[in-house]
């Protein structure tokens, strides 16, 4: 009867309505998840941070240089700040190159006087090359990881530096050289000369090794630690009083691990877990010169030399733009976007010729730097790059900071500040996901978030000629007829307009465009009113 049928329909209607709403509910849940993911990334200082790298000895001359001269006995040499770093000669007795014993006298206190420069530049992280007690200027030959080298200052001055860094809203990352120590380290000397030494098993000693002990890459001054020894691991990271944990407790926010590619995954995972236990949210970034891949399962991030190789390969023409883009997409897919956002994007540092030497063509250099600041990761600025310092291979790339070049109209400084401001102003560049833009002639990709109008499209033309190409931007939320503006050249007329997911754009030679959609002024009407 009609009455019964009416009741049945009424009973069925809520189920029918739920069926209609279910896809909406799922979509809303996914959107909420996406939003929370991007917001979570933003709250994590490690994602997309701008890292400023300093060698303490070479950054700012000490105000107490005369009082410190006794800390540099021969064969060490205290150089004048105006002298550049130069290639030395091998000293047989010291088993060192004389360039390793050239000092310029910077210390933690003098560094503190120029923190304003680093902060005003826009850096989020101050990364220091090794500061622990060691004989050479580079400090990779540690005598004692828990002690600060006296040329640099005291542990109390380190703690004060950390406080000053934090007061400026920045973080502090230290260099952990845990693969080896110095040949003259008391622990090694006792172990080497006394078979019953308590330190004997801290190293790998035997007649099968040239010089009597296993050393790093043949350098007799750098005997390797026996990282399989649990006592050594306890000393380095496992104990509450270990090197890793004590420095984190005293103000450091993370560690960069030297030669991390020579450590086991188990060692790296355990060290990272110990760091996180001591200071939740701390950073462990490894010097990995291998393909990053699985290494990012063992620590938070890597120094991304692989991505550097792709960018420089595309810039030089060694890699085609399309192939370089595919390699980039695969690397990010294999590694995962989360650890890639934390990984340091390195173009130059203390082991690599300065960027001005690698790329003397200013246009090419600026294109590469644009990619450094727009690809997923944390751009690593090597001190002096912002003022155009030059320097070839080590030690020439380690000359003292050229403060005389720090002038408001220095074009390199103006450009660096523009790149840093670009990154800080656009969330997609800091924490956004990555997607290829389908192109053949251009190296092209997209950074995007949960908000359509935050999308950034990067198009790089490494060739010597102008390139015009029609490319596909596979972003379903970019509305038809939306103009794109070049964020690096905001006063220039819009170079392209989205049409059904495609844009046709002309990119000048050796140039990268950083494009973002800008909604048309339609008298209050918005095509984006119902999209994220």
Which of these is catalytic: 164, 253, 287, 348? 287
Tokens at residue 25, please?
Answer: 């509910």
Alpha-carbon distance of 121 to 386, in angstroms, equals: 9
CB-based contact 57:384 (threshold 8 Å): no
63: helix, strand or coil: coil
Query: CB burial class (10 A; 0-12, 13-18, 19+) of residue 193?
Result: exposed
Active site residue 287: yes
365: helix, strand or coil: helix
Which of these is catalytic: 141, 151, 258, 486? 258
CB-based contact 370:345 (threshold 8 Å): no
Write the Ramachandran bin of 239: left for phi over 0, alpha for psi from -120 to 50, otherwise beta.
beta
DSSP-derived pairing of the beta strands 443-448 and 433-436:
antiparallel
Cβ atoms within 10 A of the Cβ of 389, count?
A: 22
CB-based contact 156:82 (threshold 8 Å): no
Closest CA to 459 of 451, 447, 450: 447
Alpha-carbon distance of 435 to 457, in angstroms, equals: 9
Closest CA to 355 of 179, 364, 8: 364
Q: Which residues are catalytic?
A: 258, 287
């Amino acid at each position: 009867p009609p009455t019964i049928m009416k009741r049945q329909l009424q009973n069925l209607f809520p189920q029918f309505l739920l069926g209609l709403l279910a896809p909406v509910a799922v979509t809303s849940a996914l959107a909420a998840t996406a939003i929370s993911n991007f917001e979570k990334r933003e709250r994590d200082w490690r994602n997309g941070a701008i890292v400023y790298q300093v060698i303490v000895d070479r950054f700012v001359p000490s105000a107490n240089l005369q009082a410190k001269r006794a800390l540099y006995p021969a064969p060490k040499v205290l150089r004048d700040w105006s002298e550049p770093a130069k290639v030395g000669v091998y000293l047989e007795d010291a088993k060192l190159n004389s360039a390793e014993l050239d000092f310029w006298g910077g210390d933690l206190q003098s560094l503190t006087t120029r923190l304003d420069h680093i902060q005003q530049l826009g850096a989020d992280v101050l990364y220091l090359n090794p500061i622990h007690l060691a004989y050479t200027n580079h400090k990779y030959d540690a005598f004692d990881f828990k002690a600060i080298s006296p040329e640099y200052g005291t542990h109390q001055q380190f703690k004060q530096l950390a406080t000053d860094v934090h007061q400026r809203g920045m973080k502090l990352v230290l260099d952990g050289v845990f693969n080896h120590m110095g040949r003259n380290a008391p622990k090694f000397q006792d172990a080497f000369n006394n078979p019953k030494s308590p330190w004997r098993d801290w190293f790998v000693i035997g007649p099968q090794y040239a010089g009597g002990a296993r050393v790093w890459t043949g350098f007799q001054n750098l005997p390797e630690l026996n990282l399989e020894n649990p006592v050594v691991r306890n000393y380095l990271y496992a104990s509450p009083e270990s090197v890793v944990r004590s420095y984190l407790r005293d103000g450091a926010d993370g560690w960069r691990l030297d030669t991390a590619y020579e450590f086991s995954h188990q060692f790296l995972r355990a060290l990272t877990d110990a760091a996180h236990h001591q200071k939740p949210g701390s950073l462990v970034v490894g010097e990995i010169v291998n393909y990053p891949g699985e290494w990012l399962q063992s620590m938070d991030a890597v120094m991304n030399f692989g991505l550097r190789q792709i960018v420089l390969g595309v810039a030089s023409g060694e890699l085609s733009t399309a192939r370089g883009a595919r390699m980039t997409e695969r690397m990010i897919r294999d590694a995962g976007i989360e650890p890639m956002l934390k990984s340091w994007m390195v173009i130059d540092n203390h082991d690599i010729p300065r960027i001005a030497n690698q790329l003397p063509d200013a246009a090419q250099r600026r294109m590469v730097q644009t990619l450094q600041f727009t690809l997923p990761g944390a751009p690593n600025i090597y001190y002096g790059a912002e003022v155009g310092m030059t320097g070839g291979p080590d030690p020439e790339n380690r000359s003292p900071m050229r403060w005389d070049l720090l002038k408001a109209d220095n074009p390199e400084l103006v450009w660096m500040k523009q790149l840093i401001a670009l990154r800080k102003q656009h969330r997609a560049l800091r924490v956004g996901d990555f997607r290829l833009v389908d192109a053949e002639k251009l190296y092209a990709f997209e950074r995007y978030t949960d908000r359509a109008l935050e999308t950034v499209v990067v198009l790089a033309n490494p060739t010597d000629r102008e390139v015009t190409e029609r490319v596909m931007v596979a972003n379903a939320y970019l509305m038809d007829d939306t103009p794109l503006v070049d964020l690096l050249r905001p006063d220039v007329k819009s170079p392209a307009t989205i049409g059904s997911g495609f844009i046709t754009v002309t990119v000048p030679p050796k140039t990268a465009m950083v494009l973002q959609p800008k909604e048309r002024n339609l008298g209050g009407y918005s095509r984006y009113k119902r999209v994220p």
